[in-house]
């Protein structure tokens, strides 16, 4: 069988249909429980085999690092090192997912690079090895290898495939500024120690709540205002901040494209040009 010379792949964003923080772990991470789902908005990653060296080219709506801080590049280096592959790569990353938005863009890019390189080089190793490599890159990276909705526990790396019982279609709002995940969790811990926030009640652990909203909204008041406006104006089935923010999403029991077009236009008129707004659909598989 001939080996591939290039591969082109879709790297989806994700949303968190609830994010509960159960406590801090000895390794510095937090124990979480979250239902995550891939969505139809995503980056594009083209990878081509070359003679030597690894070149990362980026384009699209958002700027991202082109050095070792880029998770896609980290994933490529880790994969080649693990399998002792002597090859060059050209990686073209087209960014559609806003960075620092709680949508897992970097993690999705990393997972997509791992799975793409496995196919590109015809590696027959167990998928378990890829999951082990993914866990080294970040807590959310293993989820994107699963390629379907999942209940994620531990620090996010323990995965159980899940069925989504919410409407599939919605609107995504990125306010034009990022929220740094380490800051959000650190601030949550500080407020927890002060008694300003409380651990989730075991009786409500499966409710679609995001425990980081209170933390993030206390600093970025506009996000709380936006969520209230969305709920009061459009009455979605579910409206939450995704991950540690800064993006919000709203799900609607609607199939009419005109409904979403009208909602987006009204939201743009209300929010102005600073807010990035897109319709999306939850994906059952990728």
User: Could you tell me which residues are annotated as the binding site?
Assistant: 98-108
Active site residue 14: yes
Q: What phi and psi values does residue 195 have, to the nearest 5 degrees?
A: 80, 10
Inter-residue contact 270 to 240 (CB < 8 Å): no
Find all residues with CB under 8 Å of 166, minimum gap 6, and list them.
17, 208, 237, 238, 251, 282
End-to-end Cα, the chain, rounded Å? 25
Place of tokens 């199939």: 255
State whether residue 1 is helix, strand or coil: coil
Buried b (16+ CB within 10 A) or exposed e, 202-238: eeeeeebebbbbbbbbeebeebbebbeebeeebebeb
Please tell me which residue in 74, 140, 169, 211 is annotated as part of the active site.
140
Under DSSP, the state recorded for 195 is T
- Residue set of the binding site for ATP: 98-108
Active site residue 211: no
Residues classed as catalytic: 14, 140
């Amino acid at each position: 069988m001939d080996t591939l010379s290039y591969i082109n792949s879709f790297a989806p964003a994700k949303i968190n249909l609830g994010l509960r923080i159960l406590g801090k772990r000895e390794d510095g991470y937090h124990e979480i429980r979250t239902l995550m789902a891939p969505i139809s908005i995503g980056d594009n990653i083209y990878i081509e085999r070359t003679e030597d060296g690894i070149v990362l080219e980026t384009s699209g709506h958002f700027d991202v690092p082109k050095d070792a801080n880029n998770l896609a590049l980290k994933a490529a280096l880790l994969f080649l090192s693990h399998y002792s592959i002597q090859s060059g790569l050209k990686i073209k990353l087209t960014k559609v997912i806003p960075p620092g938005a709680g949508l897992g863009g970097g993690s999705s890019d990393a997972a997509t690079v791992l799975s793409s390189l496995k196919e590109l080089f015809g590696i027959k190793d167990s998928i378990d090895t890829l999951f082990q490599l993914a866990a080294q890159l970040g807590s959310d990276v293993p989820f994107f290898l699963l390629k379907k909705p999942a209940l994620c526990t531990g620090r996010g790396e323990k995965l159980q495939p899940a069925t989504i019982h919410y409407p599939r279609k919605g609107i995504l709002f990125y306010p034009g500024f990022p929220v740094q995940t380490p800051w959000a969790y650190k601030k949550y811990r500080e407020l927890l120690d002060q008694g300003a926030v409380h651990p989730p009640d075991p009786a409500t652990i499966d409710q679609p709540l995001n425990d980081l909203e209170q933390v993030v909204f206390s600093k970025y008041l506009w996000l709380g205002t936006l969520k209230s406006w969305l709920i009061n104006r459009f009455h979605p089935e579910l409206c939450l901040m995704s991950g540690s923010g800064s993006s919000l999403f709203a799900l609607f029991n609607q199939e009419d494209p005109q409904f979403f077009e009208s909602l987006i236009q009204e939201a743009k008129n209300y929010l102005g040009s600073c807010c990035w707004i897109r319709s999306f659909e939850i994906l059952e598989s990728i």
